[in-house]
Amino acid sequence: MAAVMSRRALACLFAAARPRGGAPFASPRDAPLRWLSSAAKDLPARDPRLFCVVGSGPAGMYAADRLLTHYGASARVDILDKSPVPFGLVRSGVAPDHASTKSVVNRFEGVLSDPRVCFFGNAALGRDVSVDDLTPRYHAVVLAYGATGDRTLDVPGEDTLRGAISARRFVGWFNGDPEAHGDDVEISLHGAKNLSLHDEITACLTQHRDVSHEPCTHDDTAKDRSKREMLSNGDPTEIEKKPATAEAPTAVIFGLGNVALDCARILLRDARDLRETDICAAALATLERSEVKKVALIGRRGVAQAAFSPKELRELLNLPDVDVRVYDDEVTEADEADLEASRPRRRAREAIEKRKARGNDENEIENVEIESGTRRKNRKELSVRFLRSPSALVARDDDATRLGSVILEMNELRGPPGSRRAVGTGATETIRNVALALRSVGYRSKPLEEHFIVKSTHEPDRFKQSVPFDAARGVVPNAFGRVTHSVAPAMGGGEWQVPGLYVVGWLKRGPRGIIGDNLIDAEETVGALVADDARGMLRKPDYRFKDRGVAPLLEARKKSTVSKEGWRRIDAEERRRGAEAGKPREKITSVLEMLRVANEGG
């Protein structure tokens, strides 16, 4: 059920005009939209149009591009972003070794360079400006601030142990997101010590030692117990076959999507191969000292239901100096039907079968230390484990605040093809000596909260939701990009459109799809906006603001923002620092330093 707007916001909308007669529309396809305001005017196409796009990630940039393309010289677009720098997840969410994926930035730079576009970095909706500040100043406001939260595992230890973090934050860490680095870092309140995310990850990867009483650091299965017994009895054959990764700490990643593959690849790849990418320098230094030699990918369903794409999977499976082990990837008749319905999944399974058939012999490295019967320390291991779900994250024996092991429950699949679901069997296994656990089970949008002062001696200042939000689906409710709102029966009932408010991207459809999907999504939303304009249903900016948008308001509030010119100074400085290090750019990881460079240059 979509959340109800504040009484204050409803009062403002109803002040202009109340609805008259008739039932609310069931769908925008079926009936004309009913409006809560009569302020919209019939504006000829030649009149200027002022638009505000909140968010400069792919969805926001594509929306701005579509608005400029349709309205031509009559359009002006202001782009706001809470970050001082533009481009959202293209900058902070794409792996540094996938530079080709970031080439879309060239197109976005063209949009940002357009004289009809103004950029206001470091200006957050809900913190620095409100929706009520924006809507009177523009013909339409397009929300594109994406998904800033994560889905959770809902298991013990997830929220209390250091070393258990989201893959979203881990990706932001190695991409230089200021929330993980610099003097304005996001603080992790785990246990008695307060650590920045960078400090927390560095401690997990470089200062982890095995304190378990068991000599084994892997699954507590019958096969492993048998091997431990042979080792304890001094079987020389088993000692010779013991891999160098046996005592190394493990990173466990929950999820089998492309973000999970990115995290696994960064952890397993030789850090020296990343030196010429735009990876954050502090993260690279940590990875070069990392003691983690094993990565376990955990999927609750089977190989026929995994979400990873074949290309990214093949890249991970064929990393040099990495052994690969796959568990419980058998395919049933029902799974075959799922594979038949999805070519990418068939190709992914083929990649796994090909890697298994090749074995690990071809992946051996040279200079094996024959005398000791062990491999070089840089040998690593990837295990892909299907049909498992996390049951609990367990603390270390010597530190109740740090992650030490992970308990998994074995699953079986039930249901017809196309809707197979994982059901726990009750059987469990334990992965010990775990240094890091990343949950990669999906991003999630959050409701927008705005701070305002309640003019009452009985109520404190508080946050109030100002944009409708469907908490169950994690999206802003909308009809083809038009933001809608549930109205109480006493006020007419049904779903009503919020005048002048539109939504694109993950905030509109949920966190799924690739970068290019946002172009199709933006075309739909802007198409709805243009149709509304043709019917005279866009807002008319308040004459008191003189068509100047939000700039005077930010100046009056003495907010330090980053303009297009400021971003160019940051970009130039990052490229200069990168050239000195032999890489494309060295990202600035402090908001304060970004603001200084934007205002003063390098």
pTM for the model stands at 0.83
**What are the E-state strand segments in 432-486?**
434-439, 443-444, 449-452, 462-465, 478-479, 482-486
- Out of 126-130, 210-214, 227-231, 405-409, pick the least confident: 227-231
Question: What is the tens place of the pLDDT at every residue in 424-458?
Answer: 999 999 999 999 999 999 999 999 876 544 343 44
Q: What is the pLDDT of residue 466?
A: 78
Domain range for residue 592?
562-602
Q: pLDDT tens-digit profile of 241-288? A: 444 455 789 999 999 999 999 999 999 999 999 999 999 999 999 999
Is residue 298 one of the residues assigned to a domain? yes
Residue 345's identity, in one-letter code, is R
Give percent of the chain above pLDDT 90: 68
- Which one is predicted more confidently, 211 or 135? 135
How many CB atoms sit inside 10 A of residue 47's CB?
11
Q: Summarize the confidence of residues 352-379 as an average pLDDT.
A: 60
The answer to whether residue 20 is domain-embedded is no
Q: What is the pLDDT of residue 75?
A: 96
Q: Go through the chain and tell me how many residues it has.
A: 602
Phi, psi of 294 (to 5 degrees): -130, 140
Q: What is the band of 307 on the pLDDT scale with cuts at 50, 70, 90?
A: confident
**Is residue 308 located within the same domain as residue 420?**
yes
2 inside domain = no
Given a cut of 70, whether residue 27 has pLDDT beyond it is no
Q: What is the pLDDT of residue 275?
A: 96
Alpha-carbon span 162 to 307, nearest angstrom:
28
One domain, residues 195 and 323 = yes
Q: What is the pLDDT of residue 448?
A: 87
Convert the pLDDT of each residue in 573-600 to its tens digit. Answer: 999 999 999 999 999 999 999 999 999 8
Same domain, 602 and 535: no
What's the total number of domains in the chain? Answer: 3
Q: Give the pLDDT of residue 381.
A: 96
pLDDT at 239 over 60: no
Residues 583, 549, single domain; the answer is no
Alpha carbon of 577 to those of 86, 177, 185, 538, 581: distances in Å?
19, 17, 22, 46, 7
- On whether both 327 and 420 belong to a single domain, the answer is yes
pLDDT tens digit sequence for 277-287: 999 999 999 99
- Cα torsion at 175, 179, 185, 188 (round to 10°)? -100
Does residue 189 share a domain with residue 163? Answer: yes
Same domain membership, residue 204 and residue 110: no
Q: At what angle do helices 281-288 and 197-206 cross, to 10 degrees?
A: 20
